[in-house]
Structure 1
Amino acid sequence: MSEFHRPVRRPSASFDNIAGSAGPAERSRVAHATAAALLARARADETGESTERLIAFTAEHGIDEIAELWSAAPAVSLPGALWRLYLIHLAIHTDPQTAALLYERGRVELATADTVVAGAPAPASPEELVDLIDQIMRGAFRGDFAIALDRAAAFCRVHASGATHVADDYEATESERASELTTRALRLSVYAKDLSTAADAWRAGILN
């Protein structure tokens, strides 16, 4: 689905267009610096208010400003991992009904521990999936960052499995819809691999 790769909405620049028109090296430096600063700020705030603002940001403003900073960062980097978390977060908040449908189909079809790792109820309602991704985001900003990435990766694998099987259901009657779901499944599978690798890098102290 397109919501997994394109920015949406264009509000006033909440990140003050930090990247501006700088060259690739400067944009990379800014991406890494802002990701580290945001994570450090959230962890230093014992009230949790900074984390709640960061979680609410995409719902209120879209992700254009974040995209300008982080979308070009390597997948296995701090800004790259945060970018993928924000994309997943936005996609679920934008269409929780479809997310719940695909997640439940994946839960039924996928014979792995991913549903346990992700931590969603079985079955999960749209509201419960929204709550799940918010919990994962809180874990990223306040808890064990690697565990949050592992949970997000597991969620992506379950969701991808569901999208793949539903695509198969649509293949004979709605080929365009089947193609969209297949694309979504492939993208989620890549995100799952990226997030798992980023989690390992964080544990090794080399994710920056």
Structure 2
Amino acid sequence: MSEFRRPAMPGPQTFEAIVDDVDPAELAAAGHRTAQLLVRGPRVTDDDGLVARVVALADTEGLGVLADLWSHAAHDTLPGTLWRLYLLRTWVHSDPVRAAHEFATGRAFAPVHEVLAGVVEPPGPDEVIAMVDTVLRGIVGTDFDVTLDRAAAFAHIVGVGRGQLDDSDPQSAARLVDMAAQLRHAAALERDHGLA
């Protein structure tokens, strides 16, 4: 018969070692609360200062902070959706020439998506930056589902365009097309019952 042993309890040194670590559950909850405030907070869409702060959130707070809050959230949640929107905007701002080139290449293969994306003709670097910033302004608007549809259309066209270019990574093109599908799904959920 084996002797029963009480499980060892962690001593104080164990807790001291994790004091600086953030509880993942608390971080996820903070991410959900922040996302709810951004999208479901007071609707003052004519407050240009508020809209500008929301659009530039990744610039002012850093994409790393947003990644900590939202990057682990499922794509069909509000924080997961916001993560994809800010990731898309950050990429366009960091390489608008490439984004415009991929968009111009992909739009021939996705004309319906082109209309929904709403990039001004001709789709140069300034135009794709303006479009992605306009999309993010929709976070504080009343038609968040339309914002997600526009972002999905843009990501789809760019992903298709990236896939057509010889110097592109096919996996990154596929990831953009996947992101577009996730944003479309999020838009449908938003219309049905609102993303949580």
**Interval containing the TM-score (normalised by the shorter chain):** 0.7 to 0.9
State how 1:157-168 maps to structure 2 within 5 Å. 157-166=156-165
The number of equivalent residue pairs is 177
Which amino acid letter does the alignment assign opposite residue 52 of structure 2? Answer: E
2:179 — aligned with what?
191
Does 2:127 correspond to 1:135?
no
| 1:200, distance to aligned residue in structure 2 (A) | 0.7
Unaligned runs of 5+ in 1: 1-19, 171-176
Corresponding residue for residue 50 of structure 2: 50
Is structure 2 residue 27 aligned with structure 1 residue 34?
A: no
Query: Percent same amino acid among aligned pairs?
Result: 34
1:25 aligns with 2:25: yes
**Matched-pair contact (CA < 8 Å) for 2:27–2:69:** yes
Worse-matched range after superposition: 187-196 or 39-48: 39-48
Is this contact kept in 2: 1:99–1:126, CA < 8 A?
yes
Q: Does 1:147 align with 2:146?
A: yes
* 2-structure distance, mates of 1:27, 1:68: 8
State the one-letter code of the partner of 2:190: W
CA drift of 1:22 comes to 3.4
Contact 2:38 2:139 in 1 (8 A): no
Q: Structure 1 stretch 50-59 or stretch 153-162: which is displaced more?
A: 50-59
Deviation at 1:123, TM superposition (A): 2.5
Deviation of the 1:205 alpha carbon: 1.5
The residue aligned with 1:106 is: 106
Matched, 1:86 2:104: no
**How many Å separate the matches in 2 of 1:29 and 1:60?**
22
Structure 1 residue matching 2:193: 3-state secondary structure: coil
2:124 is aligned to 125
- How far apart are the structure 2 equivalents of 1:146 and 1:157? 16
Aligned residues of 2:96 and 2:129 also touching (Cα < 8 A): yes
1:201 aligns with 2:181: no
Question: How far does residue 60 in structure 1 lie from its aligned partner after superposition?
Answer: 4.0
Aligned to 2:72: 72
User: For residue 8 of structure 1, what is the aligned residue in structure 2?
Assistant: none
Residue 13 of structure 1 is matched in structure 2 by: none
Distance 1:137 1:42 in 2: 16
**Structure 1 SS opposite 2:22:** coil
Offset, 1:30: 1.5
How far apart, CA to CA, are the structure 2 residues paired with 1:46 and 1:115? 27
Q: CA RMSD for the aligned pairs? A: 1.8
How far does residue 49 in structure 1 lie from its aligned partner after superposition?
1.4
- Work out which of the two has the higher radius of gyration on C-alpha atoms and give 1 or 2: 2
1:63 aligned onto 2:50:
no
**Amino acid across the alignment from 1:119:** G
Tell me the SS of whatever aligns to 1:124: coil
Shift of 1:71: 0.6
Partner Cα distance (1:92, 1:119) in 2: 15
- SS of residue in 2 equivalent to 1:76: coil
> What is the TM-score normalised by the length of structure 2?
0.83
